[in-house]
């Protein structure tokens, strides 16, 4: 498990390594995503949040197949789905596990900070600009919910 969110390095859906140190000074909204879920339309809200508040928060999407196998696709299939159906421009990463024995270290770190693991696809973690504070929002909370927008706008 990383000591800091800024110690994380992960591959994007396109296979390029992303060093999270580049996000220092930015709020981060970290979301586990899935293409075949009742909550999949939240991609539209996440994209709108990215477009409207991109100067205040960086949206990071993490496809995961942990809930009823609702993200069975390959990284290429996921990228195509996101672009074709929702015009996703925010940063998406390669598919990972967000809970269980094979939980990715990023999600272990988020869970250690909040005491919360994702309750379903589209659970959200809002990380402060300095990476020290993390707030959890259940998957039922929409990306543009006032609770999230208010925290981003501060």
Q: DSSP string covering 71-85, please?
A: --S-HHHHHHHHHHH
In a structure prediction context, what are the per-residue pLDDT tens digits for the chain, which is 154 residues long?
A: 889 999 999 999 999 999 999 999 999 999 999 999 999 999 999 999 999 999 999 999 999 999 999 999 999 999 999 999 999 999 999 999 999 999 999 999 999 999 999 999 999 999 999 999 999 999 999 999 999 999 999 8
Cα torsion 26, 91, 20, 30 to 10°: value is 70
Residue 74, C-beta contacts closer than 8 angstroms, at least 6 positions apart: 95
Domain boundaries, the chain: 5-153
Looking at 1, 8, 18, 37, which residue is catalytic?
37
SS3 of residue 136 by DSSP: strand
Domain 5-153, CATH among 3.40.640.10, 3.30.2390.10, 3.40.30.10, 3.30.230.10: 3.40.30.10
Q: Is 82 a catalytic residue?
A: no
In this predicted structure, what is the pLDDT of residue 48? 97
> pLDDT tens across 71-101, in order?
999 999 999 999 999 999 999 999 999 999 9
Q: Which two tokens stand for residue 125?
A: 């973690």
pTM score, whole prediction: 0.97
């Amino acid at each position: 498990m990383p000591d800091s969110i800024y110690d994380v390095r992960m591959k994007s859906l396109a296979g390029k390594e992303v060093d999270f140190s580049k996000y220092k000074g930015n709020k981060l909204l970290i979301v586990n995503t899935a293409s075949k879920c009742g909550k999949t339309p939240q991609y539209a809200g996440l994209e709108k949040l990215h477009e409207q508040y991109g100067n205040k928060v960086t949206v990071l999407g993490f496809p995961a197949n942990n809930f009823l196998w609702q993200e069975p696709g390959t990284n290429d299939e996921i990228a195509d789905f996101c672009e074709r159906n929702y015009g996703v421009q925010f940063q998406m990463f390669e598919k990972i596990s967000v809970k269980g024995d094979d939980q990715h270290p990023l999600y272990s770190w988020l869970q250690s900070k909040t005491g919360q693991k994702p309750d379903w696809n589209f659970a959200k973690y809002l990380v402060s600009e300095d990476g020290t504070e993390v707030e959890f929002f259940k998957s039922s909370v929409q990306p543009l919910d006032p609770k999230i927008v208010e925290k981003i706008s501060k």
